[in-house]
Structure 1
């Protein structure tokens, strides 16, 4: 028996994060002992790794849940806390390894000052530096730092940490994150030097939906830091940013999220990495007045180089271009080995697709997406520092000699998210689709859940995030990632009177146009918190976001004239659906007031459920009542007395069924009308961003599982596998991003890495493989295990590492019938639902169900049984 995956706030050993209430979690693997149930647990927290100075001891208790345990602690600033767990089970006991979490500054005041180069020209990228001496033995050292727009810190010529794009992207006018780094190993006896390099980033660079906004949040480079050194005798020294620092222009001539980066290595000096700092020729700095109240401990997960890819080939195009093919649409950059003579100019241009055999990037709109490097003649490995690209292809110019694939490496960059889910089927094209959705998540989960990572946009669109959030949580542990995003959302919302902005951060989008939120987009405020609660079982997200959820629904209610309809404002509708007017018209055919009213009911119900989960029964009753009133208004406005929907669109039917908007007596007709609509469209989808995420789920859960598989496996346009046939390695923004002849469709808004339609993967986990979380037991402590096979696929298998442990679900069609394989984790259980089954035809681990020990029941040709911790092979003997 092993206790593993010890996390605090869903992060392993978090250093310097916002930790007002540490939430501890862990997973027990039963091992060879075959433990199935937890009988008791003990959690200890101490100030030392030997647990001599214990601050919290829960004692041996039966009520502790490994999904989330909150110890009673009064936290001190800049303090490391160690914790461990002891578990008693039905087959023995086990102790965990020691984990830790460390606080940041908390309410401790800053002694450092915000500094900036004392230059008139604020476009010059600076180096900032100062020296200091150490003459005592060091116990530990921590660097508390923030730089605007982006920073990279160094100590004695060593890069601090392995993160990129610190201090990350959020609404800087509401809060600014600082990071904490353990730099004990960087400091030496005698002379030392600390420094930082600054770039434009989101804060002061060209960024925003208009594509022309410069410095929306700030106009000046700025640095704030405190290096706190604790000696073995218990004394401390603090090296602060102040007027004593010096600055000089760096070798980065320009940087931009959209346009790329220009480096002149001839300007790089070895002095930058030398501990002997002589500031002759360096300029002074001045202090800036930036509100210290904006500073908060980090919430963003680190952004790191998570993978590396080698180019699969070097292409020489009909135009004479030399192009690297990475074989995968990815996000990050290409690192290369420099061998060019001094003064040589190497330029890389990044693009997603080739056209007519040549390099192409018109779909990036105004984004230049370039990297320019001027060589100093010295061998080096070169990469950008303050930008990223969305690309598969890289055009290389100015390279000395032959361009060889082995001289380049694709650095795949995204937030440090743990992979939790895997899926595999008998169909290679479906497997590629699953990978495409995963790569879309990797590319767009770079601190903010962006819509696309390549063109002059790359913003945290709320609609894309909420529509994909369910799939995201199956693919990866997204709890901490979305905690930060939703915190930022609530900060923005508080300044807008309850309106949820279209993008988070908004970058002034609400100021630039008439939009005041849109249904399905603004639902990020309600849908994402509820999805996190279902997946991770931690009420902390509901506690953090309940006011935001409630304020959003209350804002809708203010637009309501008593009719309980949401028929005001500007809405995006079923974005990019194919049933609208015109081939490239982004607005679908489903009336926007129908969609808005549906989401009004849905969000009201989610607020009620969140309130109920938190024990706020009066609030829950109020919002359940509101939701019921909106549903009644929906029926009065959009449904005839005989159950006919006013709009004959696939999305209309899908919303009515998925959001339970109509009486039970109307459902059969609406289901049949949806089927007829599909038949009218030759069983191809016509849905956009709103209808697509729920489409196959609605079909499978309403008696048309065969049509769900048919939609999945369609290979012609419009379909998921059409994209795969066309060579897609991520999810497209449009069903027809590329036309059958391989040419781009509409260019004004056409991304080849736009994950929303990848939400089909949630259906694969929930319905195809049957792994469904339950509201009454969130965090997968109990699940409904209801796989829905179809002979169009011969076999399928899924694994899912949940907050409760590892689930596995697989099925395959064999000669003797349908074989299922399941794994249920420790201290968990699943209600297995097998449709079209007879107990006489079922064996469990080689024993007939009737003769075995499992509890079961049979009703309407459906067999239900309860599976406890363990592994099961179940055979349903049927002729196929």
Structure 2
């Protein structure tokens, strides 16, 4: 037995975060045990647990999915914790984990500083020297730099994160980070420094008229180096007027356009104690509101993987192009000894056209990197930009371009992959990987819609629609906590409506009929759907506590628009975005009436508010919004459903929403299911759905008796289908069903990303229905699940695993002659309600013994067998008909 995955607020040993009430979680791995008997959690001020601050004592009611110790937190303090678990097969004690608080409410001694020169485009280096005469026991750096910063102490980089202080609504709040820098200091002379780049804060960015200086027009730095000495004394070295400034070797940096470096201006010793800064310029104070500063919420962005180019291509135009073999996000680093003054020019793109480098689909984004060599040997990469790409055009290289000279650095938020899927179909396996790579590429601090063109923004609709899949693939709890906090901040200034993008970058104006206004059904539902998905997956009430007012405010905004008729038929809506049943080949809004979609989501969001309030014990709110949801559903039926159950709009998405969101009476469901089937038949069993209908399409089919059609849609290989892109060589999910045409050329270029994860939401169906791993609302965090795989002979086998908050689940099936064999794994102290379709009880074998002779409880319902599986591994088989 062992205890693993010890996390605080779903993070391992977090330092300097906004913790509020720390939520401790862990997983007990105990193959020889089945259930937890009791548990004890101890929190101490020291690693030896001599100074106990909290002791739960041995209790039966502690759940490893989340436990909050009663403890008053102090600023800049580390707390240690451990767990002991008693099981039916003995007990086990964990290792020691910790969490460390931020400055909390402590005032800042450091001051905001900026270079004392007029040209605000010059990228600065900032530094200060100081001396240490005593032994250092501990040192922490609390720092924020605008737009982006990279800190160094004594010539060594602080931490391994990129794009600090990250992307958020800077006019509402700014994050500072905390770093342990104890090992970077020494007796004698020391120096601390920082390099600044434009980033989102002041660089060229945005969607509503791309511009610079969205939030500020000057570089700025604020920091405090807090040194605790062995003798118990403390010294704080803060940013102030004594710092010095000099231009860095970065001539320009921009999220969209890339970076330009001149190595001839690089000062190798600028952050070491040997540097001479007498010729450096002064700095001056800058007025930035300290009340905006908050401890970090963003999890780190790091280089998570490294790839080598798979080949060097010499194109018909004579270009030299690196092929990374995978559409990725980050950059390529390289080693060079090019002659002094040489210009190495890299350009990034997603696809080749006619065998040549191409990037017209990036619109105005230059997506390039320029490096002017000093003649010295160097390892080079950008500091303050990233690219979405598979191909890199190389110009100005000295000598032969070789794959071994370049490395692809894959950069995204530090998310742990927890889910895996494999089937007998290689194309489906690639589809799963494409969705996973789309998540990697777009989960860079905010869930962006695309990582390559002049956009890269946190579109709410994309995030909402993919959030279920995201939580199966990766532990996204802390990642989405920060995004939703930003979302609530943006809401606060526009009356509860949710902007199209978070952060909004100016797209937060209430212009009722403008594409660039704030708010649209299905997009704004990020406020209600994502918190509920997080609660469902991680069992964490804290996200509902954090977001309930946001959820309510959004629904209240809609209620103010409905005129008492309980219909949402005002304002701008994206509709079923990029659906294929609209007017004309390139119509973006789809054929489903926008007021039908908006009203459907109105009912759904009100229901989610009621559910969240009920979880939190707020019964009056739950009753109010539950009643509102019922009223909206009744209005939906009056407006869009005939007295005999015919839906007003004959579109796949209309039927899908009516069924998935339970908008119609039970007596009409059969007709609507049949209408959906008939629509698919009329379209030769190909989908016509866009961003709204696609996430739920196969789920609705599998839940309503047409599992075979769900598989047929999954396995279609011609346009429009998921595998169409796979067969054309896609390594990520495309924005459009036909982003590339059958001949490999681009379709419409104005909006055509090859890394756009929304349609990857089919993966949630793979986890939930193909493999049957379904979380239950009454048991959030997967303590108890519904295990209901729905096999189909169109695949020979399928299997999935998910490392949930409760532990590792596995579910797989395989056809063998006339038998269907299942493999299941249920984690310690969990159970699953297993539903086996089409099984004759006399033919069911569990772990090589007939089910009727097994101690497992079972029930026969219609054509299903139901069992309750406790912790353990199960091999189950039964005969099937021909």
Match for residue 618 of structure 2? 616
Q: 2:419 — aligned with what? A: 421
| Aligned-partner SS, 1:145 | strand
- CA distance in 1 between counterparts of 2:685 and 2:298 reads 43
* Partners of 1:190 and 1:181 in 2: CA distance: 21
**What are the equivalent positions in structure 2 for 1:866-877 lying under 5 Å apart?**
866-877=868-879
Give the match for residue 769 of structure 1.
Answer: 771
2:244 to 236, 243, 246: 246
Matches within 5 A, 1:148-167: 148-167=146-165
Aligned equivalent of 1:234: 232
Which residue does the alignment assign to 1:272?
270
The answer to whether structure 1 residue 737 and structure 2 residue 739 are counterparts is yes
Which residue of 2 is the match for residue 24 of structure 1?
24
* Residue 403 (structure 1) aligned with residue 401 (structure 2): yes
Residue 77 of structure 1 pairs with residue 75 of structure 2:
yes
Q: Could you tell me which residue of structure 2 aligns to residue 358 of structure 1?
A: 356
Deviations 1:338-383 (A, max 9, x none): 1201100000000000000000000000000000000011111100
Q: CA deviation at 1:816?
A: 4.5
Which of 188, 194, 218 in structure 1 is aligned with 2:186?
Answer: 188
Residue in 2 that maps onto 1:566: 568
Show the 5 A alignment for 1:570-609: 570-609=572-611
Residues 409-468 of structure 1: CA deviation (Å, up to 9, x unaligned) = 000000000000000000000000000000000000000000000000000000000000
CA contact (8 A) 2:80 2:98 kept: yes
Residues 246-283 of structure 1: per-residue CA shift (max 9 Å, x gap): 00000000000000000000001233143224222100
Distance in 2, matches of 1:686 and 1:871, equals 41
CA distance in 2, matches of 1:674, 1:312: 45
C-alpha deviation, 1:63, in angstroms: 0.6
**Helix, strand or coil at the partner of 1:6:** strand
- For 1:214 and 1:507, how far apart are their aligned partners in 2? 11
1:834–1:863 Cα contact (<8 Å) kept: yes
1:756-798 deviation line (CA, Å, top 9, x unaligned)? 0000000000000000000000000000000000000000111
Separation in 1 of the partners of 2:273 and 2:827?
53
8 Å contact kept, 1:367–1:455: yes
Q: Does the 8 Å contact 2:494/2:509 carry over to 1?
A: no
Cα separation, 1, equivalents of 2:209 and 2:691? 24
CA positional deviation for 1:695: 0.1
Secondary structure of 1:212's aligned partner? coil
Deviations 1:545-576 (A, max 9, x none): 00000000000000011110000000000000
Pairing of 1:817-856 with structure 2 (within 5 A): 817-856=819-858
**Shift, 1:509, TM fit:** 1.1
Does the 8 Å contact 1:192/1:276 carry over to 2?
Answer: no
Following superposition of structure 1 onto structure 2, how do residues 319-330 of structure 1 map, counting pairs within 5 Å? 319-330=317-328
1:365–1:748 Cα contact (<8 Å) kept:
yes
Q: Given that residues 820 and 875 in structure 1 are in contact (C-alpha distance below 8 angstroms), is that contact kept between their aligned partners in structure 2?
A: yes
Counterpart pick for 1:102 among 95, 100, 103: 100
1:388 corresponds in structure 2 to 386
1:176-575 correspondence to structure 2 within 5 Å:
176-210=174-208, 212-511=210-509, 514=514, 515-575=517-577
TM-score (norm 2): 0.99
1:861 and 1:199 map into 2 onto residues whose CA distance is 63
CA contact (8 A) 2:507 2:518 kept: no
Determine if contact 2:153/2:272 at 8 Å carries over to the other structure: no
1:169-180 to structure 2, matched below 5 A, reads 169-180=167-178
Is structure 2 residue 139 aligned with structure 1 residue 141? yes
**Kept after mapping to 2: 8 A contact 1:502/1:509:** yes
* Cα distance in 2 for residues equivalent to 1:48 and 1:336: 44
Asked if the contact 1:817–1:876 (Cα under 8 Å) also holds between the matched residues in 2, the reply is: yes
2:665 to 660, 663, 672: 663
Please say if residues 838 and 880 of structure 2, whose CA atoms lie closer than 8 Å, have aligned partners that are also in contact: no
Distance 1:345 1:273 in 2: 26
Q: Residue deviations 1:53-96, cap 9 Å, x none?
A: 01000001111010000000110000000000001111100000
User: 1: distance between equivalents of 2:518 and 2:104?
Assistant: 35
Alignment deviations for residues 481-502 of structure 1 (CA, whole Å, 9 cap, x no partner): 0000000000110111101011
Aligned pairs (5 A) from 1:699-848? 699-848=701-850
TM-superposed CA distance for 1:878, in Å, is: 1.9
Query: C-alpha distance in 1, partners of 2:432/2:382?
Result: 30
**Secondary structure class of the residue paired with 1:510:** coil
Q: What CA distance in whole angstroms lies between the structure 1 residues aligned with 2:780 and 2:365?
A: 43
Q: State whether residues 127 and 271 of structure 2, in contact with CA within 8 Å, keep that contact through their aligned partners in structure 1.
A: no
**2:149–2:165: 8 Å Cα contact kept in structure 1?**
yes
Q: RMSD across aligned C-alpha pairs, in angstroms? A: 0.7
Q: Distance in 1 between matches of 2:277 and 2:88?
A: 68
SS in 2 for 1:272: coil
Preserved CA contact (<8 Å) 2:208 2:506: no
CA-CA distance at 1:672 after TM superposition: 0.3
In the TM superposition, what is the alpha-carbon distance from 1:861 to its structure 2 partner?
1.5
Asked whether the 8 Å contact 2:800–2:812 carries over to 1, the reply is yes
* Contact 1:600 1:630 (C-alpha < 8 Å) held by counterparts: yes
The corresponding residue for 1:681 is: 683
Gaps of 5+ in 2: none
Shift of 1:20: 1.5
Q: State the 1:211 CA deviation.
A: 5.2
Q: Deviation at 1:512?
A: 9.4
Cα distance in 2 between the residues matched to 1:314 and 1:501: 43
Deviation at 1:511, TM superposition (A): 3.7
With 476-485 and 809-818 compared, the bigger mean Cα shift is at 809-818
CA contact (8 A) 2:528 2:551 kept: yes
For 1:270-300, what per-residue CA distance to the aligned partner results, in whole angstroms no more than 9, with x for missing partners? 3314322422210000001101000000000
Q: CA contact under 8 A between 2:353 and 2:745: conserved in structure 1?
A: yes
Report how many aligned residue pairs link the two structures: 878
Pairwise CA distance, 1:510 = 2.4
Q: Which runs of 4+ in 1 moved over 2 A?
A: 510-514
Q: Give the Cα separation in 2 of the matches to 1:269 and 1:478.
A: 39
Contact 1:211 1:456 in 2 (8 A): no
Tell me the distance in 2 between the aligned counterparts of 1:837 and 1:527: 35
Secondary structure at the counterpart of residue 850 of structure 1: helix
What secondary structure is seen at the aligned counterpart in 1 of 2:822?
A: strand
Equivalent residue for 1:45? Answer: 43
Looking at structure 1, the residues matched to 777 and 462 of structure 2 have their Cα atoms a distance apart, in angstroms, of: 24
- Is the Cα contact below 8 Å between 1:130 and 1:277 reproduced in 2? no
> What is the CA–CA distance in structure 2 between the aligned matches of 1:403 and 1:91, rounded to whole Å?
61
Contact kept? 1:193, 1:276, Cα under 8 Å: no
Q: Following TM superposition, by how much is the alpha carbon of 1:837 offset from its aligned partner in structure 2, in angstroms? A: 1.3
Provide, for residues 612-651 of structure 1, a one-character-per-residue CA deviation record: whole Å limited to 9, x for no partner: 0001111101111000000000000000011000000000
Cα distance in 2, alignment partners of residues 289 and 160 from structure 1:
26
